[in-house]
Amino acid sequence: MARLCEGRVAIVTGAGRGIGREHALSLARQGAKVVVNDLGGAVDGTGGELTPAQSVVDEIIAMGGEAVVNGDNVADFDGAGRMVAQAIDTFGDLHAVINNAGILRDRMLVNMTEEEWDAVINVHLKGTFAPAKHACGYWRDRSKAGEAVSGRIINTSSVSGIYGNPGQTNYGAAKAGIAAFTVISALEMARYGVTVNAVAPVALTRMTENLGPAPESPEEADLRSPRWIAPIATWLASEESSGVTGRVFEASGEFLAVAEGWVRGPSVAPLEDPEALGPVVETLLSTARKNSGMNGVAGGPPQPQEGN
């Protein structure tokens, strides 16, 4: 019986550790050939070396799979192009890109520096755009040449972006932008045989270990393991997912869910006089659902976070 991703070629960015590592290993177990991209930097994006990526490649080869290391910076447009070219040159094709690379520079808004804002936006937003741009260009050209295309972009959003978390205006804005990027690019790429989806993971990794209390038991630690995120990303990278596009999936050890996007709530006819808006807005808000908290429930509490 053929495995889910048998013979497919996939790129996973930020695949040296955590969630990205689990994506790469899961894809390989399901028969994919994997380009393991990772700069090997710290959580804040500084430094870097290829040992983490090479370790994942070694694991994949040890299990009988095929994989290669890529050390390009996903936020470098030309570097992202080299990464896509490496996949095609090494394995003869490209079928899926999982945009997973990311960094954190958490800070309350009034204390956040320009550099902390720019660094996070660059890695997450441009680091999603650049690989997707090069991969989608390849698939569009193949489609226009009359070839069958089965392309998959799987982006990484976050509950911090779609619901909001104090102390993460940079990270949350980037992740909300990635959700919007997913919806829009899905509309654009459907004609070429390409789907675009996103996953908003909840897992304990080195990026999130300081954002909340530590697990109190092995069972709780397992529920927060990044291994629970890989199944949906692997399925989305397969041919089986061809009918699913433009969606954001929440994934954790406790649930798999579809995040519902912005919808228009209660409305009234427009008013010209701003002085008349007070009671009207009060009525609208009294009947509208409250914003969701970090638990995804309307009116739910945000995840508390220490100011810094």
Annotated active-site positions, please?
Answer: 171
Sign of CA dihedral 208, 204, 51, 28: negative
Residue 292 near residue 163, CB atoms below 8 Å: yes
Residue showing tokens 């741009």: 133
Residue 160 near residue 175, CB atoms below 8 Å: yes
Residue 199 near residue 258, CB atoms below 8 Å: no
Q: What are the angstrom distances between the C-alpha of 159 and each of 29, 166, 172, 221?
A: 28, 12, 8, 19
Residue 92 near residue 4, CB atoms below 8 Å: no
Residue 56 near residue 67, CB atoms below 8 Å: yes
Q: How far apart are CA 244 and CA 183, in angstroms?
A: 12
Q: How far apart are CA 70 and CA 84, in angstroms?
A: 10
CB atoms under 10 Å from CB of 303, counted, come to 18
